[in-house]
Structure 1
Amino acid sequence: MRRTSEPWNPNGLELCVHRFRDDAARPTGLTLLLLHGFLDAGSTWDLVAEPLARAGHDVVAPDLRGFGRSARVGAGSYYYFPDYIADVAALVDALAPARLGVVGHSMGGAVAVYYAGARPDRVERLALLEGMGPPSHGPEIAVARMEAWLRDMKGLDRTPRRLASMQDAIARLVANHPRVPRDVLATRAPLLTREEPDGGLAWAYDPMHRTTSPLWFQVEAFTSFLERIACPTLVVSGGPTGWHPPDEAARVAKLARAEHVELQDAGHMMHWSAASELAERLGEFFAGGGAAGAAGAAGEGTKGGVDDGRGRE
């Protein structure tokens, strides 16, 4: 198993891209792009990525901008949602020259929907892990969101959020993710933190991500992207303790070729809490690709800026 972390510069901002390959496996020719959720990082896909790599896939898991080891935007900039999609499009062009499958968790699922809807000819198979977008709101919240954003940005302190120790980081993860075994969270903590120049420890994400986006999620626009997705789509639920928007079923119904899997007791962080079962389900799903799947996507490709879709984890 080869696991590397490489810098890529798709749109003027250096991203850290984690790649998983097994030289002993027979290559499938399929690149799998794994997109993480809010305050997560591409490196924490490892428990799922390694089994998929052993199946012969080339697995790519970027830290999205401002998360993990990827660069943060400069002063005067912001994390607008289309920026993530532009980064994904550039990474796909560079790293997935032929066949592409996409897996998106939570916020990463929303990124995957926008990308797959905009480029239905490019995605052979798509898996959405509780990634159907946040709750919908109408334009009546627009003024309040803009006011909140201006307040947040005026008082923003981008100093990394400090931790007393790695044990402190683990304890906080345990408090936030009670359904994930502690021993698993102990392996996640080093991936979600970074050592500061003075030797201290801090969370690896940019504190700007904690601010209120000035733009709200517009479900009508989101569903237009769902309707454009032509490929087979696996919708994975973490069960009743997972995260589900109230109109989730209506959104899923917009997908032309949806399949459903429920990991009953996994909860929202299923790639940590039920990694083996999730990897098995994803492996079965992506093994069903190939020429027929690609032809279906190509044949249906013409079918016919937001609040983050972050699904706060």
Structure 2
Amino acid sequence: MRHHLLRWGEACAGRPPLVMLHGWMDVGASFQFVVDAMRGEREVIALDWRGFGLSETTGADCYWFPDYLGDLDALLDLLSPGAPVDLVGHSMGGNVAMSYAGVRPGRIRRLVNLEGFGMPDVAPAAAPERLARWLDELKEAPSLRPYATLADVAERLRRNNPRLTADKAAWLAQHWARETPEGFQLNADPAHKLANPVLYRKAEVLACWQRITAPTLWVEGSDEQLQRFWGGRYTREDFEGRLAVVPRLARTVLNDAGHMLHHDQPEALAAALEGFLDAP
């Protein structure tokens, strides 16, 4: 598969490449505002995950977390085959980064998870119903509705995140959508809408997290998100128990920021990243 990469800066002695992984229904260009705010010189790389942005789609009926790990492994083999990198992931990208850092601990020098909370644990008994739902959804091709103009895409972005300023939304819309004969279509494979037949198993995730050796920074916005996303299905207490297994963990909270903290507070996030990545 062909993956789209964005690259900023050049290789710097003493500073490994910084690889940034976006979240679900996002794109690598989403990190532009944070990169703009960084003061130090370093090479930064952001990819579009398969089925997002300008990367190719799989043509399959579902997207699997192991494939994201495989894509990241191949990317790091290309970018830095002989030395570890610094890895930052947001939301879904944060979860991929955490699992990868546990599976390939020698490949990561420092690790940053931006609101990659993960998902509620799913009991094995839920498998039949989930598989049945997936089979039912396969009978009709999924689709994403088009937008008449890029301004409409920008408006949707601002509805999703009221903190996003109009100028940032207008810039992001050019990367989130492309023009088609039917209108402006989001750069995302509609197959992402299908139920995932693979259950999320917390025990498997934590088996990876506890093997992380890199110093790890957890960053979240001050606007609590777990309750909004999951209600009582996934509690803060559950999440804190998950973080407790990470061996070398630091934490920070960005004020006046929600889940899209790289959009809400790019300057504060850039300062937190550089302070962590450049510390002795």
Normalization by structure 1: what TM-score? 0.82
Q: Distance in 2 between matches of 1:254 and 1:267?
A: 25
In structure 1, the partner of 2:133 is 148
Aligned to 1:49: 35
Equivalent-residue separation in structure 1 for 2:263 and 2:190 (angstroms): 23
Residue 248 of structure 1 corresponds to 239
Q: Which amino acid aligns with 2:223?
A: P
Residue 179 (structure 1) aligns with: 163
Q: Deviations over 1:240-283 (max 9, x none)?
A: 33347521111110100000000122000000011110011001
What letter corresponds to residue 218 of structure 1 in structure 2?
R
8 A Cα contact 2:223 2:257, kept in partner:
no
Q: Which residues of 2 match residues 1-313 of structure 1 at below 5 A?
A: 13-21=1-9, 27-52=13-38, 54-74=39-59, 76-97=60-81, 98-158=83-143, 161-196=145-180, 198=181, 200-243=183-226, 245-246=234-235, 247-288=238-279
Q: Structure 1: how far apart are the matches of 2:130 and 2:159?
A: 29
Q: Distance in 2 between matches of 1:255 and 1:189?
A: 36
Per-residue CA deviations over 1:206-226 (Å, capped at 9, x if unaligned) read: 111111100111001111111
CA contact (8 A) 2:146 2:182 kept: no
Cα RMSD of the aligned pairs, angstroms, is: 1.8
Equivalent residues of 1:104, 1:112 under 8 A apart: yes
8 A Cα contact 1:166 1:190, kept in partner: yes
Rounded Cα–Cα distance in structure 1 between residues aligned with 2:84 and 2:71: 18
Structure 2 unaligned regions, length at least 5: 228-233
User: How many residue pairs get matched?
Assistant: 271
Secondary structure of 2:118's counterpart equals coil
Mean Cα displacement is larger for which, 142-151 or 214-223?
Answer: 142-151
Task: Give the gaps of 5 or more residues in structure 1.
Answer: 1-12, 290-313
Deviation at 1:22, TM superposition (A): 5.4
Q: For 2:118 and 2:277, how far apart are their aligned partners in 1?
A: 23
- Distance in 1 (CA, whole Å) between partners of 2:267 and 2:95 is 24
Q: Any conservation in 1 of the 2:61–2:138 contact (CA below 8 Å)? A: no
Contact 1:243–1:267 under 8 Å retained in 2: no
Identity of counterpart residues, as a percentage?
Answer: 36
Q: Distance in 2 between the 1:261 and 1:175 partners? A: 27
SS at match of 2:17: strand
Q: Go from structure 1 to structure 2 and tell me whether the alpha carbon gap of 1:243 and 1:31 turns closer, same or farther (over 3 Å shift).
A: farther
**TM score, norm. by length of structure 2:** 0.91
